[in-house]
Amino acid sequence: SQTIHQWPATLVQPVGSPLSLECTVEGTSNPNLYWYRQAAGRGLQLLFYSVGIGQISSEVPQNLSASRPQDRQFILSSKKLLLSDSGFYLCAWSRLSMNTEAFFGQGTRLTVV
Amino acid sequence: KQEVTQIPAALSVPEGENLVLNCSFTDSAIYNLQWFRQDPGKGLTSLLLIQSSQREQTSGRLNASLDKSSGRSTLYIAASQPGDSATYLCAVSGDYKLSFGAGTTVTVRA
């Protein structure tokens, strides 16, 4: 069966510090991978998606970047965090395109102080 | 741009009552619609997936309907239990993206 791992679960970082959130998927190959951010009381916002190694699409201009160094690994990064980067970050995967069912990780609560 | 709306934003019912959660979307050109459950501080758990060619999908006490032409979906939860308390999110897919509603937070009172 397929599983998705996301870590850390919580993170408190000072403004201006770097960020690295990691997501890995097991039990499948060549998944589509996604990073979402969830703000309180609002829907999930798609930040990045990837259909293959090294292939990253950005949905919104922002202070964050994403990389996919391996088939089942997706990393969300920032060189210098802003207060506005605080939020709940979720990684997701699906087979082929988003026409199939999507599965989410347990999320990372990021607080920038 | 796809806009997804969920009404009501919050719902409180006594145990045993049936739940009806609504989702509407503006662009009917979707591939599928998915209902998720989210517990506080946790990730999303997929409940039901309805392909665009389907009218409904059932899993246990859950039944979801889809009317693509009118841009609507409804999630029915029969005989609610306190363990059903959570936030329920609907999402529609198109072009590698899932567009989400803000969710309906459900409280089932024992």
How far apart, in Å, are the Cα atoms of B39 and each of A12, A85, B3, B10, B75?
Answer: 21, 22, 23, 14, 17
A102–B94 CB contact, under 8 Å? no
Residues of B near A (CB-CB distance < 8 A)? Answer: 4, 31-32, 34, 36, 41-46, 49, 89, 91, 93-103
CB pairs under 8 A between A and B: 65
Q: What is residue A42's predicted lDDT score, i.e. its pLDDT?
A: 73
pLDDT for the residue A96: 67
Whether A90 contacts chain B with CB within 8 A? yes
* Residue A38 pLDDT: 93
Q: Does A69 touch chain B (CB under 8 A)?
A: no
pLDDT per residue as tens digits for the range B91-102? 998 877 789 999
Q: Which are the contacts of B20, defined by CB distance < 8 A and separation ≥ 6? A: B74, B75, B76
